Structure 1
Amino acid sequence: MSDSPTATEPTLLLVDGSSYLYRAYHALPDLRSPDGFPTGAIHGFIAMLKKLREDVGAGHAVCVFDAPGPTFRDDWYDQYKANRSPMPDDLRLQIAPIHEAVKLLGWPVLEVPGIEADDAIGTLACVGASQGHKVLISTGDKDLAQLVTDRITLINTMSNERLDVEGVKAKFGVPPDRIVDYLTLIGDAVDNIPGVDKVGPKTAAKWIAEHGSLAGVMAAADSIKGVAGENLRKALDWLPQGKRLVTVVTDCELANHIAGWPAIENLSLREVNREALLDFFERYGFKAWRRELESALGRGSAEAAKATVARFDSAPPAAPVAPPDLGAGLKRHYETVLTMPRLEHWISVLRGAELAALDTETDSLDPMAARIVGLSFAVTPGEAAYVPLAHNHPGAADQLPIDAVLAALKPWLEDAAAGKVGQNTKYDSHVLANHGITLRGWRHDTLLESYVFEAHLLHGLDKLAERHLGRKGLSYEDVCGKGANQIPFSQVDIERATEYSGEDSEMTLQVHQVLYPRIAANPGFRRVYEDIELPVSALLARIERHGVLVDGALLGRQSRELAERMLQLEQQAYEVAGGPFNLGSPKQIGEVLFNRLGLPVRKKTASGAPSTDEDVLQELAADYPLPAKILEHRGLSKLKGTYTDKLPLMVNARTGRVHTTYAQAVAVTGRLSSNDPNLQNIPIRTPEGRRVREAFVAPPGHVIVSADYSQIELRIMAHISGDPGLTRAFSEGMDVHRATASEVFNVAPEDVTGEQRRYAKTINFGLIYGMGAFGLAQALGIEQKAARAYIERYFARFAGVKQYMDETKRSAAQLGYVETLFGRRIELPEIRGGNGPRRAGAERQAINAPMQGTAADLIKLAMLAVQGALDAGAKQTAMVMQVHDELVFEVPEGELEWVRAEVPRLMAGVADLSVPLLAEVGVGANWDEAH
């Protein structure tokens, strides 16, 4: 791409810096400076700017960023960008260094409070074009296509795409002067701007072509048939506002930000500030760039200096913008297997491979219900095979019979000696189990490799390929479409399905080849991955597959009782409020509480309305009756909708049980999460919540057994801190809260009152979570001065705990992470460089994460130890749930004594700490009774 200016046609280059930020951040892996500061986005941004300066010979240029804070569009529409995820913390930390680097590289920087970068770019582009400049806008934002004219062009350096007037027409199906109309019809999910429901790009372009413009489409609304026409008519009142929101403003006042505005002579590219840039590269650990720049400053040969000066003034160093594509140079070939001889050939290849990647394509995301549509394999980079089995689109090629294929593959699939790697192998195991195949031989799982190596990042295969391979593969939406237009995978063209699935297998193999050596090189990573996460994944598949029995009739009775109580609460609330209102509407609740009853406003929402969140209602409930009734109603409504109504509907018709899905790669501390249904969040602080557990029952001839670690995080605190007082309390089997109260209140243990023990318990657990005087005062309902005195007394008696906390914060600030006893790493991006509150939050996390993470590791090791003993003894006892520090079993009555004796012993023996681990066991006909 070359866009050199001429003497008569100077070029103005406008860089969408906000777009570059995210592209740079996601293009590179998690790079760090020598002191642990994140640098991936900085590196990528610099490389892209230097490449751009080489490719586009512009005399004038500006790098434009979004300023923090609201813009005029937020005033126009209070839901603007309401659904946008917050900027990743690691990226936020890199913004200031990126601005510094851009300026050092000679680029003018523009950031205008109250307007978006798009509007500043639009204004600059129109002014530059009117003054005789050819304008190039470097961006990946489709919204800016509305600015394209014969003098304004969009360029995308990541994809080498160039959009002039004809390019816009070819890409979007409408000319640039109709892009605003096009965007208004389709809406913008990223910015939370509604369009016409169910109207996508094709329909929008078709309507504009038929009716000329948005105005023409709106005028013809009554004549447009079908669901789309009906939705268009519903949206007519909104569309003018939508158009206003998607229109880039081109007349912003920039005089206070650009000297001599509207003349753009002051926006010329300047020389690189090499001395300052040298210090910058040193500070952030960019060694290769620093060496090259040293040559430019005369600290090397004359030829090297001359070459390097040229590179830094116009071209980038050899460093890539993105990670190298490890498949570069490979001719990728993905075969569609349609005959038995070719299948037998691939089975032979799989048999001879040390490790093979396996991926299944299915008709459902529900692991217990999904059926196979096709399978793919890869054993070497660049090559893969896809076996279509259930594609049913028109013209689909004849496919091999699914039963014959699975019968041929079954010996290899069930061979534990045949090494396999996958992405989220637990799901594939379920899918094949649905077809009667017990999948064995999983050696590796790239999802878990990423989770252990970089728990704070996303672990989808697409993100892994981008981070570690520099590749961007096909997405599911690329092949199946989106939303209402999405088709099932069985209707995807077989050739396209081969490309998609074959790529998944082949990329999985390559990601493993990059990630696993990094894990194997770190003893802690390797232990967590190989000894904990991989075997736990296989065990979770067994637990999920077995499921848990629920009493639907009992849940039905509980639902009816909850409905009656909710109705009573509604009537009582209406009486207090002086009339009916919707107890499920925050807006109506706010109207009643603050306007009708005049209750004090405790805090406001982002839009300025009085908040009615749970914290506010809890605070008001202490003094006023209505907030208490609203809270109780809200709790019962959630309990009814989430559990008593829903659980009976989630019973699997084939098994008669409920089957949750445990997610491993979510919480950075290693804790599991439970989904569909979430069995870990059943509220147990209310009688109604505890009653839900009554519905989790044992089958005839069995009992439910609950085994729960006792005060596990406090015991870990005693071990990690080495505090003599805590260690002695646990080692001697004392009531640790009574022992703490004895120390804090300076009384004999036998003289500790119930209130003193309660205070000590709150202090013990509060300090684990980094609670300060303010938080403790709120928790205990006392003055902050008294809370501070309690904490000071605690630390005076338990000096080892204070020392642990101080040393942990110092170490975390130096390293940027903390670790569990077993080597699991928890990154803390904001412990360095974050603002005060964020840094304080990171420090609290630094204190708690090693304990919470170690507890998560211990319960996983306990699961493995117990299941290993069950298997070794050929026991019929089944592990049916894991809930935080608790394991729940379905136990035949004849095995109860064994379970009662062995399970706590096994759980206590998974680690050798300086204080004893203790697991307590309960037994009952249902889960509630077992507590």
Structure 2
Amino acid sequence: MSKPILLLVDGSSFLYRAFHALPDLRGPEGQPTGAVHGFVAMMKKLREDIGAEHAVCVFDAKGPTFRDEWYPEYKAHRPPMPDDLRLQIAPIHEVVKLLGWPLLEVPGIEADDAIGTLARIGAESGHQVVVATGDKDLAQLVNADVSLINTMAKPPERLDVPGVLEKFGVPPDRIIDYLTLMGDTVDNVPGVEKVGPKTAAKWIAEYGSLDGVIASSDKIKGVAGENLRKALDWLPMGRRLVTVKLDCDLAGHVPQWPTLEALALQAPDKPGLLDFFTRYGFRTLKRELEAELGGGAAEKPAPAARPAAGTTGDLFADVEPPAEAAQVERRYDTVLDWAGFDAWLARIQAAPLVALDTETDSLDPMAARIVGLSFADKPGEACYIPLRHSGPDAPEQLPMDEVLARLKPWLEDGSRPKLGQNVKYDLHVFANHGIAVQGYAHDTMLESYVLEAHKTHGLGALAERHLGRLGLSYEDLCGKGVHQIPFAQVDVAKASEYSSEDSEMCLHVHELLEPRLQADAGLDFVYRQIEMPVSLLLARIERNGVLIDAARLQAQSHELAQRLVALEQQAYEIAGQPFNMGSPKQIGEILFNKLGLPVVKKTATGAPSTDEEVLDKLAADYPLPAKILEYRGLAKLKSTYTDKLPQMVNATTGRVHTSYSQAVAVTGRLSSNDPNLQNIPVRTAEGRRVREAFVAPPGHVIVSADYSQIELRIMAHISEDPGLLKAFQDGLDVHRATASEVFGVAVDEVTSEQRRYAKTINFGLIYGMGAFGLAQSLGIEQKAAKDYIDRYFTRFAGVKTYMDVTRQSAKDLGYVKTYFGRRIYLPEINGGNGPRKAGAERQAINAPMQGTAADLIKLAMIAVQKALDEAGKRSRIVMQVHDELVFEVPEAELDWIRTEVPRLMAGVAALKVPLLAEVGVGANWDEAH
């Protein structure tokens, strides 16, 4: 007689997978529902496939667990849950119960520990236990009575005792040892440095267990042995952290504990489900349930094309995503001879649009060299040309130089439309080989960014979200971590499948996304006239780089080091003892336990917070928090800039080359990375000194051009407030004009204090600041702040109308728009809790202005570069920082730049108020700013 089945679902493990596998689905109120759709489909399919008598869906509870007490840094680096997913937790819990599943959350322990305890009890009570999870840590539970199933894997994966051994190289009873040696970067649990899966499995096989490895640590040679010996003191704690508890007391959480009577699967609550499906817009499931409750057959629409068997499309068969492209039959060629090359060259020369992709030996765009190329001229059909694959099994390949020489005329022909995913990177790669690619017409990353900036834009995510296709990942070919091999060592057949798939999947995604852009004139303008041209221009700016004075930065580092030592000593004297200035835990003990300072707020684990906001508040009344803040600011400046920038000078160009991320900020702003040039402090003397190190070469000057009060001007334009419009149209000091209205005095009688108040009000209202925030900013009573705001809105009624209308529009649509039509989605405007909803409302007011400012500076970049090229000037844009463009200008061209750049920047849009760009000149960035 077969044993009854106990099915344990790791709800926390599947939350993220469901969230990322589905498109950006929205309910009737604009609330995100993609993860809810995925979860419903998963739970229905598990119930059908497993046939369990008892089951439970287990989630992590909020708050700290016993592991946080053991190790305060546990999971400290884990990023916060995406807002769109967090909003779906409550409905997921609700629908799980409505579907008849028991649900379990136990404060103080993790879902894994509840699952481990239930698995033990289930096996002891005669059940065959099946754990549905994607978490490798739970492999330690597997035995003759417990197995794992991962329905999200491709193909679905079931692990019994032999399966664990085959997958991990160790049996289930050694998984804890295996995990301890490797550590877990996701949970911030250190292991032995540079020890990955293969080394961990090898050591355990050789020495029998973790204890055997520890006992034999002096026998293990090389760097690995040294790292193991360094970690010996830590390993017992590491083992403790990765061990799933099997003896948790679930009394009070599982009725009739320790029996499993309460975990019997129940019949679905069909009336409750009908109400749920109505509220969250599950149209197909609602129709089917209505027909079932009414005794009739549901009328189903014609089925859309679905993903191939074995993909997540099977799991989400009941989900209603947007229309999907039909699946395609794949035909990939590996080009190893000139006949094959000539055939594909003729194809791409004749094609109306070609997707191309580079495989390289580096992620550094300035250093990456080509390993192979792929091309696709229609979905499903592509080729890969391997050029630098090595290894004993690598076939003979066509000579790279000759291949690139024969492709160069087509690549540099601007009349031949091309497509890519993140084309800026490929532009750099080809430039490293002396090829200036022209004709890039589309970029799927940017298409996705313009359509849904709040989602992820990697090609794999796009293909899964929009096509239901699951492609190969880089890790599938090259592995992970220290065991990752270079792409040049990948088997050519596998490399060909991977790269060909990237190109043709890129083309496939484009065919789906482009019509969606064309259907909205605003989004189409943002994509074609802003984002695509800016992408090509950013590649030029990044290659230009900026010259820095490394010696000056090194001198600043030395001075900062001396100041940090002095600040440490001053802090020790105030505290009455030395402590680690970089340790939040020790700072908290000094501030709150020893000195008795008031606790402003607490962390998620319940400990008093020592973040910057807390220290800033305490610094107003206490000296030590002020010293710690000053120390943190200088230490960050030193480590991030004065120490690091000289090391980032490119050996070939002698310059620093930042990378601008275009598809990150939902407002359209660019972000700068490696190094981040946008976060150098401008309000501190030390930050300005760092800017002094950004210099012009001999015979040149640095020119800075930025928009004046750009967001206030945009506010005047979109609110159409007569008072603001007149102030800007008459060229008045807008803060002085505001003060005149608010305080009821003549413009020439406004005091400096009144102007300061007006400036704070002007900028505060742009960011949705209320009376409480204004009172804090000005250091006045909240009632007085409210009076100022009321007076402001009385005098500038158009601003108040704009805010009210915008808030309501954001609630109705779920997004706001910039002047040019960019959409900025606000998922919490309807679904968030009180504080988060209020934050979304403030963002609704500010986002159109911040987004329009981002669009304007991008249009300015395009216009200025076009004029520079047409005039044959040698001046170059070397940086873009928020609303500012920074140029390196030959002295002979300075007059032209001073005249033309402000004119061009002011002319990129016809607002109801004039745009004003101001120019500064100097030998370095600080002087010019």
User: Normalized against structure 2, the TM-score is what?
Assistant: 0.93
Change over 3 Å in CA distance of 1:302–1:76 after alignment to 2 = closer
Task: Give the aligned partner of residue 351 of structure 1.
Answer: 349
AA at the equivalent of 1:527: F
1:116 to 110, 131, 137: 110
Q: Secondary structure at the match of 2:294?
A: coil
Are 1:276 and 2:275 counterparts?
no
Task: Give the aligned partner of residue 58 of structure 1.
Answer: 52
Moved more, 837-846 or 460-469: 460-469
1:338 to 317, 331, 336: 336
Change over 3 Å in CA distance of 1:284–1:321 after alignment to 2 = closer
Task: Give the aligned partner of residue 250 of structure 1.
Answer: 246
Task: Give the aligned partner of residue 396 of structure 1.
Answer: 394
1:670 deviation in Å?
A: 0.5
1:711 to 688, 703, 709: 709
Are 1:207 and 2:206 counterparts?
no
Q: Does the 8 A contact of 1:80 with 1:191 survive in 2?
A: yes
Change over 3 Å in CA distance of 1:138–1:483 after alignment to 2 = closer
Q: Does the 8 A contact of 1:50 with 1:316 survive in 2?
A: no
AA at the equivalent of 1:319: D
Q: Does the 8 A contact of 2:64 with 2:605 survive in 1?
A: no
Task: Give the aligned partner of residue 553 of structure 2.
Answer: 555
C-alpha separation in 1, matches of 2:285 and 2:589: 60
Moved more, 430-439 or 364-373: 364-373
Task: Give the aligned partner of residue 298 of structure 1.
Answer: 294
1:261 to 246, 257, 264: 257
After superposition, give the CA deviation of every residue in 1:797-820 in whole Å (9 maximum; x if it has no partner): 212212221222222122211111
C-alpha separation in 1, matches of 2:430 and 2:315: 50
Change over 3 Å in CA distance of 1:295–1:349 after alignment to 2 = same
2:917 to 902, 916, 919: 919
C-alpha separation in 2, matches of 1:565 and 1:253: 53
1:227 deviation in Å?
A: 2.7
Change over 3 Å in CA distance of 1:577–1:56 after alignment to 2 = closer
AA at the equivalent of 2:877: M
Task: Give the aligned partner of residue 310 of structure 1.
Answer: none
Matches within 5 A, 1:305-320: 318-319=317-318
Change over 3 Å in CA distance of 1:146–1:323 after alignment to 2 = farther
After superposition, give the CA deviation of every residue in 1:740-778 in whole Å (9 maximum; x if it has no partner): 111111111111111110111111111111112222222
Q: Secondary structure at the match of 2:921?
A: strand
Moved more, 332-341 or 851-860: 332-341
Moved more, 707-716 or 543-552: 543-552
Task: Give the aligned partner of residue 303 of structure 2.
Answer: none
Q: Does the 8 A contact of 1:44 with 1:321 survive in 2?
A: no
Change over 3 Å in CA distance of 1:345–1:795 after alignment to 2 = same
Q: Secondary structure at the match of 1:68?
A: coil
RMSD, aligned CA: 2.6
C-alpha separation in 2, matches of 1:170 and 1:923: 66
Moved more, 627-636 or 569-578: 569-578
Q: Does the 8 A contact of 1:661 with 1:674 survive in 2?
A: yes
Q: Secondary structure at the match of 1:832?
A: helix
The number of equivalent residue pairs is: 914
After superposition, give the CA deviation of every residue in 1:241-290 in whole Å (9 maximum; x if it has no partner): 32232222223333323333333233222222222222221221111112
C-alpha separation in 2, matches of 1:787 and 1:645: 43
After superposition, give the CA deviation of every residue in 1:395-422 in whole Å (9 maximum; x if it has no partner): 4322222211110110111111111111
C-alpha separation in 2, matches of 1:859 and 1:617: 35
1:40 deviation in Å?
A: 0.7
Change over 3 Å in CA distance of 1:545–1:336 after alignment to 2 = same
Change over 3 Å in CA distance of 1:474–1:325 after alignment to 2 = farther
Task: Give the aligned partner of residue 186 of structure 1.
Answer: 182
C-alpha separation in 2, matches of 1:919 and 1:484: 50
2:906 to 880, 883, 908: 908
Q: Secondary structure at the match of 1:297?
A: helix
Change over 3 Å in CA distance of 1:108–1:567 after alignment to 2 = closer
1:358 deviation in Å?
A: 0.9
Change over 3 Å in CA distance of 1:557–1:169 after alignment to 2 = closer
Q: Does the 8 A contact of 1:322 with 1:470 survive in 2?
A: no
Are 1:79 and 2:78 counterparts?
no
Change over 3 Å in CA distance of 1:620–1:147 after alignment to 2 = closer
Task: Give the aligned partner of residue 427 of structure 1.
Answer: 425
C-alpha separation in 2, matches of 1:838 and 1:302: 40
Matches within 5 A, 1:139-218: 139-159=133-153, 160-218=156-214
After superposition, give the CA deviation of every residue in 1:849-880 in whole Å (9 maximum; x if it has no partner): 11000000011111112222222222222222
AA at the equivalent of 1:799: A
C-alpha separation in 1, matches of 2:317 and 2:603: 49
AA at the equivalent of 2:226: E
Task: Give the aligned partner of residue 679 of structure 2.
Answer: 681
C-alpha separation in 2, matches of 1:68 and 1:593: 27
Task: Give the aligned partner of residue 232 of structure 1.
Answer: 228
C-alpha separation in 2, matches of 1:498 and 1:422: 17
C-alpha separation in 2, matches of 1:325 and 1:19: 27
1:329 deviation in Å?
A: 5.5
1:633 deviation in Å?
A: 4.0
Moved more, 846-855 or 647-656: 647-656
Q: Does the 8 A contact of 1:323 with 1:469 survive in 2?
A: no
Moved more, 701-710 or 43-52: 701-710
Q: Does the 8 A contact of 1:327 with 1:381 survive in 2?
A: no
AA at the equivalent of 2:163: G
Are 1:361 and 2:359 counterparts?
yes
Q: Does the 8 A contact of 1:422 with 1:444 survive in 2?
A: yes
Change over 3 Å in CA distance of 1:928–1:466 after alignment to 2 = same
C-alpha separation in 1, matches of 2:502 and 2:468: 14
1:533 deviation in Å?
A: 0.1
C-alpha separation in 2, matches of 1:654 and 1:40: 48
- Which blocks of at least 5 consecutive residues in structure 2 are unaligned? 301-313
Q: Secondary structure at the match of 2:371?
A: strand
Q: Does the 8 A contact of 1:773 with 1:784 survive in 2?
A: yes
Change over 3 Å in CA distance of 1:928–1:215 after alignment to 2 = closer
C-alpha separation in 1, matches of 2:243 and 2:558: 52
Identity %, equivalent residues? 74
Change over 3 Å in CA distance of 1:252–1:538 after alignment to 2 = same
C-alpha separation in 2, matches of 1:727 and 1:618: 37
Q: Does the 8 A contact of 1:12 with 1:136 survive in 2?
A: yes
Matches within 5 A, 1:778-797: 778-797=776-795
Q: Does the 8 A contact of 2:143 with 2:172 survive in 1?
A: yes
Moved more, 400-409 or 234-243: 234-243
Moved more, 193-202 or 595-604: 595-604
Q: Does the 8 A contact of 1:325 with 1:471 survive in 2?
A: no
Are 1:107 and 2:101 counterparts?
yes
C-alpha separation in 1, matches of 2:636 and 2:319: 51
